[in-house]
Structure 1
Amino acid sequence: MLTRTLPLALAAAIAASVSGCARGTVPGSISYYVATPVALVETRCGGGYQVYQRPGEPTILVAAYAVSEAVQTLCEQRRGIVPVPARTGVRHEEAAVEYIATRPHLKGCTVVSGLELTQLHSEFVLACPAVATGVVSVKG
């Protein structure tokens, strides 16, 4: 009986692990951004962040360096800088806004919502103006 159930249990374990991997590659997960281009962003007090955006996607992942978070907080306190309140209420929004400001292809885009995935990772949804397409007018 054990020899019959062992292959079934092994097959069930493999199926469960594979389905877990497939589920992790949807928007709203860190693994969704694996193998995407990364941009390094610094905020006004030197906070360092990595920003990931899949080509053609309206979402970005902001990954903070733990040391940079501490350095930025101390810098702001020492200089008397009041942190800019996040419109979305999500951590690392300042880095998302800085990323948008430094990317010509995102001109006019804004952060509309965000989700804190971990203390060091936040995902943001961007809204961008529609790209004008060639308009053909017919005169007759």
Structure 2
Amino acid sequence: MLTRTLPLVLAAALAASVSGCARGTAPGSLSYYVATPAAKVETRCGGGYQVFQRPGEPTILVAAYGVSEVAQTLCEQRRGIVPVRAHTGVRHEEAAVEYIATMPHLKGCTVVSGIEHTRLHSEFVLACPGVATNVVSVKG
């Protein structure tokens, strides 16, 4: 029985793998950030995260480790800690804020908005001082 189902399982795994590649590298997807180095971030309850930022872009992707996500949730419940989602209301905002605090090139930056793509990864938009966006000047 195992020899009959093994080729089917392998074929299904290959099809799932290929279909994931076919979606491309849309912003917000893990594959969009895969070529960037990951920074490891720990939060107050020991939650472990990887944070990705593409050079020159004002967005970061926060990816939680599944086991530490469960451990952090249990820790927060036990200690009566309310998760930090004060600004955006998006899961993993605490890790985004911690990442900003640890990166010298992001000094003074704040989290402007975010979107939860899955329970284990969210993307945040940052606003940094001295970085003008969509500025229009008119000479008259």
Taking structure 1 as the reference length, the TM-score comes to: 0.74
Q: Name the structure 2 match of 1:114.
A: 114
What residue is the counterpart of 2:43 in the other structure? Answer: 43
Look up the equivalent residue of 1:66 and give its one-letter code: G
**Whole-angstrom CA distance in 2 between matches of 1:89 and 1:110:** 14
* Corresponding residue SS for 1:117: strand
In 2, are the aligned partners of 1:47 and 1:69 still within 8 Å (CA)? Answer: yes
Q: Does structure 1 residue 80 correspond to structure 2 residue 80? A: yes
Aligned to 1:124, the other structure's residue is in SS state: strand
Amino acid of the structure 1 residue aligned with 2:98: E
Deviations 1:51-79 (A, max 9, x none): 00111111000000111111111112222
When the two structures are aligned, how many residues end up with a matched partner? Answer: 114
Q: Distance in 1 between matches of 2:43 and 2:114?
A: 18
Greater C-alpha Rg? 1
Secondary structure of the residue that 1:81 maps to in structure 2? coil
- How do residues 44-59 of structure 1 correspond to structure 2 at under 5 angstroms? 44-59=44-59
**TM-score scaled by structure 2?**
0.74
Question: Is 1:128–2:128 an aligned residue pair?
Answer: yes
Distance 1:38 1:61 in 2: 10
Q: CA deviation at 1:89?
A: 1.4
CA RMSD after TM alignment = 2.1
Q: 1:100 aligns to what SS in structure 2?
A: helix
Runs of 4+ in 1 over 4 A off after TM superposition: none
CA distance in 2, matches of 1:45, 1:109: 23
Q: Give 1:96's aligned residue.
A: 96
- Report % sequence identity: 84
Using the TM superposition, give the Cα deviation of residue 86 of structure 1 relative to its aligned residue in structure 2, in angstroms. Answer: 3.3
- Give structure 2 stretches of 5+ with no counterpart: 1-17, 132-140
